[in-house]
Structure 1
């Protein structure tokens, strides 16, 4: 296999510092202390690809978009070009993919988010070359991504056919204001495997009953880290505050300690006893790793985890997923967990 591999080095930087994305926010993210996320995701994927496909030829782009990482894990890549500057743009991604096509790659693998996926699809338009995403962005709504970096290698090594899948993206400025309205940006050919994620969908059901039951069991002295989404939003309403619909809020003993918090603000607000409250993304099942990077491994390790959802959402997704950037933590979180689905009722769900 001749595999084109490109990294968006700034994808996901805005997540843990509370920006909910990086579009036009790179300098602000850096000013808040953000660290690049996608290079480590790329390193994990390349390591797994090297193990699963040792005979693959890797075609990549110059620094900081893949070449050094490929060499670091043992590849001797074909480097077919480089960005014009260290401050990369969407045009650099499109140029890289165009060069991969000239180099006769069989498939293009990229690390980034939905915006990067749309850029790759634009460059592949009119060809039959498939693409596969390694999730590195904050908002990963599209169905062209593997569940995790390691899963991407499994898909590449085992797929036997491709299918057309949707690429969705949202307006990040509207997203920061609490509005989620994904637009269809493209349809791309993707290798088929069980470790691909679905497109994000919205859930439905009686979330008010879930919220009432949760609030009845709130304990004094406990710090509650309340994640994004409408189900957890109903809990915020029941606690008496509006909160950030797409951000993370921290609450204890009737007081909102932090609203729309970054990772560092959450860590500063934690007490001796902490509970992080999350609801899975409809259609995908992620409780950590999509849309809530503020809930970092450092935060999760200091908290108990409470999962809430409507029955309809759980019926739709079938299983829960995690992708925290920390494989050891992912392994600890996997297994069976109890999900509150009503005022008194709960359901056991597997975390994968």
Structure 2
């Protein structure tokens, strides 16, 4: 069965495995204080245009979200996000387990707006009994979103402005950052993310690494003592170089960006195949996730050969499903899928 249900099921890019093998018996300082981590941080700082930013490596996305949010929020504060946000739907209460409430805002396309955030904050602070409710203390976005959609630079600027006016940090989850950067419609760079957020992370797990995320912290106040929180929450690896080596490989020759482009190109072929057959797409995703709306017969026929995610059922009996490509998805696999899409979903 060909799998299109996630974008991180494969292991790691061969260049990463080769470097890990080459450096396997090196004796280096632990806990991310080795030369590989330092070089990887230098490369990321150059890509972000932030020579003074702090960068820390952790093993996974949920761990990154837990650590960042716990490090920023005071005990009585919560984190604002879209109702479809990863921390609200797919992290098994990980954020609530830190003692902080997720303050979810409604969203049809996976995004929230500056106006929504401003309205939420105004409602809190104009409430005479606001001390009895959770204070909004952080805004969480993901780029791309859970629905594969992208914030534009103008949208991020507007949200950043509201956060700055309200003295609320802005945190951007970049688990699929490489795929967002690669989308032709995207107008946001790593340098933009660095300028328009207080913290963001560059996802490696989903974009070629065996595991690992690079947390980039432009905000000086958040930089201070951040490593204490990494240690406290079990995120500080003794063999920290294993994370640094992977990001060293991903960023030294632009491999990270190449892998993102490869996945997006294959996803667009899948999108074009569905559209050519008149299949509706639930969301306008320009990235590596595509959400066709299929009849029960179409879904069952494709499921005999392909693994993909069920997303939602519609009132008319159709279902929204998700097909994901990854850095390792082959053109041959996509070609085969496209042929079957035309055979199963095309007009007779």
- Same-fold call, TM cutoff 0.5: no
What's the TM-score, normalizing by structure 2? Answer: 0.30
When you count strand as a share of all residues, which structure comes out higher? 1
What's the TM-score, normalizing by structure 1? Answer: 0.30
Q: Structure with the greater relative contact order (CA < 8 A, sep ≥ 6): 1 or 2? A: 2
When you count helix as a share of all residues, which structure comes out higher? 2
